Amino acid sequence: MGLVLARQLANSGALIGLLARDLDELSRARATIPAPSLVQLLEADVTVASQVERAVDALVRRFGRIDVVINNAGQILSAPFADTTDADFKAMIDVHVWGMLNVTRAALPHLARHRNGRVVNICSIGSRIPVPHLSAYCTSKFAQAGLSAVMGEELREQGVRVTTVMPGLMRTGSHVQAWFKGDPPAEFALFSLVAGLPGTSMSAERAARLILAASARGESEAIVPCTVRQIAKAAALFPNLSLAALRGVQRLLPKPGSRFAVQGQQMSLNPVLQAAVTLNERAADRNNQR
């Protein structure tokens, strides 16, 4: 998602700092962004505050200022609660909560300097709806969305607007990089199908346009697309009914099994499923997920 957002911002003429842990991955990503001379590569782990601070300093030295920060670093683990370990919860919280906090803190003095800064925090509809088999992910996303909302209220006094984004499933090719436990092949097949069908997911490019538009308008919260926004409203209005529906989903999911995590790119789909998720497979190639 971060790469798709960067492409759209580059098309608008923005100067971009692209941050990730792997310099080779950053170089591959840069080659897909228009006007690559306007992109600064920043090698850092968002969970390590000192690395983030050095990266932000390098960006300011090159471009002179920071106007917008998009916190998009993320991980996905699909696993039964019984197979989800303490380390899994910690890893998700480290990236989604501490990562967002570290980047925002490092950039805040620069964002506040011209009193028109923006912070865009990419959370998830999983921060509103407790999705079965995403216990570690939802835990971290609920915390992330709460922190983002508080930031939005407090940073407003410094001239910095915060947009908390809660997107539904997006066809970014994330199934390739996600991790799976319990019955990994079954979890992978189900996740790939739900995250890859047009009826249950939206294109990353459309999501990026909606996210950037909401940020430009200064919205405090953006749930995208409209269909997901209606689902979130229904869940808030009828919480018990919503939870009953999720219990029905839970009964259909694979049973607990192994605590050994397998990454999506280490598994394959049968030909029928492969054909059904063609759009997401293409997105994985296009968005540097391989």
**Is the pLDDT at 36 greater than 80, yes or no?**
no
The pLDDT of residue 289 is above 90: no
Euclidean distance between CA atoms 59 and 42, whole angstroms: 8
The reported pLDDT for the residue numbered 211 is 97
Task: Name all domains of the chain by residue range, CATH numbers in brackets.
Answer: 2-286 (3.40.50.720)
Q: Write out pLDDT tens, residues 245-257.
A: 999 999 999 999 9
pLDDT of residue 35: 76
Instruction: State the SS3 of 195-217.
Output: HHCCCCCEEHHHHHHHHHHHHHC
User: Which pLDDT value is given to residue 288?
Assistant: 85
**pLDDT tens digits, one per residue of 39-63:** 999 999 999 999 999 999 999 999 9
pLDDT band at 138 (very low <50, low <70, confident <90, very high): very high
Q: Which residues of 69-100 are buried (b: 16+ CB within 10 A; e: fewer)?
A: bbbbbbbbbbbbeebbeeebbebbbbbbbbbb
Q: What is the pLDDT of residues 185-235, one digit of tens each?
A: 999 999 999 999 998 999 999 999 999 999 999 999 999 999 899 999 999
Residue of 16, 52, 54 lying closest to 32 (CA atoms): 16
Average pLDDT, the chain: 95
Model pTM score: 0.95
Residue in the structure block whose two tokens are 């690395």:
51
Looking at 69, 71, 136, 137, which residue is catalytic? Answer: 137
Over residues 263-290, mean pLDDT: 92
Q: Is the pLDDT of residue 37 over 90?
A: no
Identify the DSSP state of 255: P
137 is catalytic: yes
- Confidence at residue 141, expressed as pLDDT on a 0 to 100 scale: 98
